[in-house]
Structure formats: C-alpha cells, structure tokens
C-alpha cells in the first residue's frame, strides 16, 4: 500500500505523534533560516567574518537552565562569548569537561575574563538545599551540598523564602573561588597572563545580572576577594532585628 511512499511519510502515517514532533523540529530549522537571513541582512558578511576567527574576551560558566541564555543576557553576538554550562554552574577539579573548556579559553583564545554566573531560584541549588531526590543528577549537586554544609550555620539564620537564593549566591562564590584555584588559571597567572575571575548572579524575576564582587586577577587577590564577597552576601541576607 505504501510502496511509493517516502520512509518518513510512512512512519508519520503509522505514528501521528512523530509527525507532530517533526513539525516542532522543523519550526526550529525555519527559525534558524529566518535568523540567519536577518543577521546577514543587518550585517552583510557577518558569517564569513565569523568563519575566519573566534576572539571572545569572556568565558561564561553558567547554569544549564533554559531561562538563562548567556549571549542574550549580555547582548553579545556569536563569537563574542565562550560558554560552558552545567547544572548549578559548578566548577570542580574532577570535571574534565569544564577544565578543558577553561584551558582552551585561556590558553588558546586568550580570554581576559572568566565569569561564573548563577541565577535565582535555581532548581539544582534548591534540590541541594532540601535534599530532594532528583535522580542521577543528585551525584552532581553533591558539590552544591558541600557549599550548603560549609555555610549551614549561617544559612539557617536566613528567612526561609530567601534561603534558596542565598545558597545560589554562596554557590557562585565557591565556584568562582574553585575556578581561581584550577591549574589553568593558576598557570596563567604564574606566566603573567591577564585573566580575571568574576562571580555574578542573574535574577529570573527582573532579568538583571548582579556583580557579587568576587573579582580576582592574581593568586594573591583570591582570599581577600572571597572574604569581601562573602561579607556582602551575608549583609544582604541579614535577618532584620
């Protein structure tokens, strides 16, 4: 009956849901064509120039949350921001994926800024705070639970509705400090390369990025930057007397 039908058409007739899924994906492809055409019309030669070089000044290490699109938040074009994302914007010394991105960004692309970016109401941070059972990712957010344990006494003084966001900010500070302590950054500083590590947080409720002021451009600056930023977080979340 379907001898002359194309394979994809045959599957679509047998499974209407597959046709709907294909249409959803086609919408993405159509959006891409429209975006590429509009971009090239607005900036003739944009893609040919992009093909020849990649010279970002910034490495963004952020959360995988779909509501936090890195380039859009800072209004940068493709090629202007190098990006690594994972659940809860974690930087740990055993994660070769993140370390490889950092090494390529620092050693080859010569980025000048590494920005660890968390966001309010982070699901991974919430799961770490409340010991939620969320499957395999529980093993990953153990790193965030380490942050919770480190600051547990202070976190218990924060008003319950604000506690997740407080841990989100603490997590940024700890992950930024971890980034400073990686061999990639330490080696860059040792050879005199300019690399500055920052910690930011994005507000889902207002669309704004906030600098948490953990800013370190040398090994000697890390501890002071961390203490200053930690004091700032605690001051903002201090319970009113």
CA–CA separation, 182 and 106 (whole Å): 12
Q: Which of 37, 52, 67 is the last residue of a domain?
A: 52
CA–CA separation, 114 and 60 (whole Å): 6
What's 219's domain CATH number? 3.40.1050.10
Residue of 67, 93, 149, 236 marked active site = 67
* pTM metric for this prediction: 0.86
For the stretch 139-170, pLDDT in tens is 999 999 999 999 999 999 999 999 999 999 99
- In the numeric block, which tokens belong to residue 22? 């294909």
Largest CA distance in the chain: 79
Residue of 65, 177, 180, 198 marked active site = 65
- Count of domains for the chain: 2
Q: Which residues, listed in sequence order, are joined to residue 139 by a DSSP beta bridge?
A: none
For the stretch 63-109, pLDDT in tens is 999 999 999 999 998 899 999 999 999 999 999 999 999 999 999 99
Dihedral angle sign, alpha carbons of residues 201, 202, 203, 206: positive
Name the residue range of residue 101's domain: 54-236
Q: Is 67 a catalytic residue?
A: yes
Q: Is 213 a catalytic residue?
A: no
201 closest CA partner among 191, 192, 211, 189: 211
Residue of 63, 98, 168, 180 marked active site = 63
Q: Is 65 a catalytic residue?
A: yes
Q: Is 93 a catalytic residue?
A: no
Domain assignment of residue 241, yes or no: no
């Amino acid at each position: 009956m379907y001898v002359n039908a194309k394979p994809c058409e045959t599957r679509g007739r047998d499974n209407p849901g597959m046709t709907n899924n294909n249409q959803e994906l086609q919408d993405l492809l159509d959006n891409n064509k429209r975006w590429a055409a509009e971009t090239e019309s607005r900036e003739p030669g944009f893609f040919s120039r992009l093909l020849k070089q990649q010279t970002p000044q910034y490495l963004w290490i952020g959360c995988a949350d779909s509501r936090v699109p890195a380039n859009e938040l800072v209004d940068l074009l493709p090629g202007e921001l190098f990006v690594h994302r994972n659940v809860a914007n974690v930087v740990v010394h055993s994660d070769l994926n993140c370390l490889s991105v950092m090494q390529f960004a620092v050693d080859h692309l010569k980025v000048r800024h590494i920005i660890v970016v968390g966001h309010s109401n982070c699901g991974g941070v919430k799961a770490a705070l409340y010991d939620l059972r969320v499957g395999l990712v529980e093993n990953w957010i153990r790193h965030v639970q380490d942050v919770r344990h480190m600051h547990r006494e202070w976190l218990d003084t924060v008003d319950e509705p604000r506690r997740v966001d407080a841990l989100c900010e603490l997590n940024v500070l700890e992950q930024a400090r971890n980034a400073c302590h990686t061999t990639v950054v330490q080696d860059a500083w040792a050879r005199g390369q300019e690399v500055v590590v920052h910690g930011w947080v994005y507000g889902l409720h207002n669309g704004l990025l906030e600098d948490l002021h953990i800013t370190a451009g040398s090994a000697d600056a890390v501890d002071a930057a961390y203490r200053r930023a930690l004091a700032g977080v605690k001051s903002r979340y201090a319970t009113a007397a």
